[in-house]
Amino acid sequence: MSYWLVQHDIDSYFDRPNMIGILSSDARGDANFRNIKKGDKVVYYVKGKKALGLFEVSSEKWFELKRWSRNRPDPHMVHEIKPIIVTVSEFDPSDFGIATTRGITALRLEPDQYRNMVRHILGMGDPENHEGTIALFAKLHKACGFPELLKINELYPDIIARNEKEQEVRIEVEFQSGDFRKHMSELESCDLIVCWRDNLGDAAPKRIIELSSKIY
């Protein structure tokens, strides 16, 4: 998996919020854009020092779009993307060791560059405990398939959420999935485990969502 800074203008996002693209006439000469793959993570940068958030590439490979929009009638080569988190923030690439973005559509990021951008966009670092994992899930719940958090509890389970089928789901949040072992006597009161790191794997008693895999 690779990490990318992708630069568009804001109108491109409004026209095609589920895509990143480049003019077909320029595509063969842009090795970076050609090398973007499904599962790669994207920092979506808007000209004018704004970040629109974090996205994941969702298409198997790039494909041709006959035209981007009414105002951009030329054909484009595109990748489909899905949001991890959409939040407009002030963003200066030079703060992350990028000298210039002039003439660049896609720029490969080093892991440390990407990690620092994630911290900036999320407004928090990687979780270090149970409370930090809950805070991160509160930012990423839509990307995890839960449009609405209905209740955050002091007691088990930690969260009641509504999924995309309008069903209520009881969620226990743990820093590591193995920490769920202390709740085994209450297993039937939980539908899902959300964790920062999954150290149970196939031994998990419930379905697991690992947040670290969502952003890294």
60-93: pLDDT as tens digits:
999 999 999 999 999 999 999 999 999 999 999 9
Architecture of domain 130-215 in this structure: 3-Layer(aba) Sandwich (3.40)
**What is the distance between the alpha carbons of residues 161 and 193, in angstroms, rounded to a whole number?**
12
pLDDT-based confidence at residue 169 (cuts at 50, 70, 90)? very high
CATH 3.10.590.10 intervals, the chain: 3-122
Compare 17 and 155 and report the one with higher pLDDT. 17
The rounded percent of the chain whose pLDDT value lies above 70 is 100
What is the pLDDT at residue 186? 84
Strand 41-46, strand 106-109: pairing: unpaired
DSSP track, the chain: --EEEEEE-HHHHHH-TTEEEEEHHHHTT-HHHHT--TT-EEEEEETTTEEEEEEEE-SSS-EEES-S-SS--S-EEEEEEEEEEEEEEE--GGGGT----TT-SEEEE-HHHHHHHHHHHHTS----SHHHHHHHHHHHTTTTT-SEEEEE-SSSSSEEEE-TTS-EEEEEEEEEGGGGGGGGGGGGG-SEEEEEE---GGG-SSEEEEHHHHH-
**What is the distance between the alpha carbons of residues 186 and 103, in angstroms, rounded to a whole number?**
56
CATH 3.40.1350 intervals, the chain: 130-215
What is the pLDDT at residue 183? 87
What is the pLDDT at residue 41? 98
What is the pLDDT at residue 211? 98
pLDDT at residue 123 tops 90: yes
> Closest Cα to residue 87, out of 140, 41, 160, 11?
140
pLDDT-based confidence at residue 148 (cuts at 50, 70, 90)? very high
182-208: pLDDT as tens digits:
888 888 899 999 999 999 999 889 999
The rounded percent of the chain whose pLDDT value lies above 90 is 90
What is the pLDDT at residue 163? 97
Check: CB of residue 196 under 8 Å from CB of residue 177: no
pLDDT at residue 44 tops 90: yes
CATH superfamily of 3-122: ph1033 like domains (3.10.590.10)
**What is the distance between the alpha carbons of residues 201 and 144, in angstroms, rounded to a whole number?**
18
Compare 155 and 113 and report the one with higher pLDDT. 113
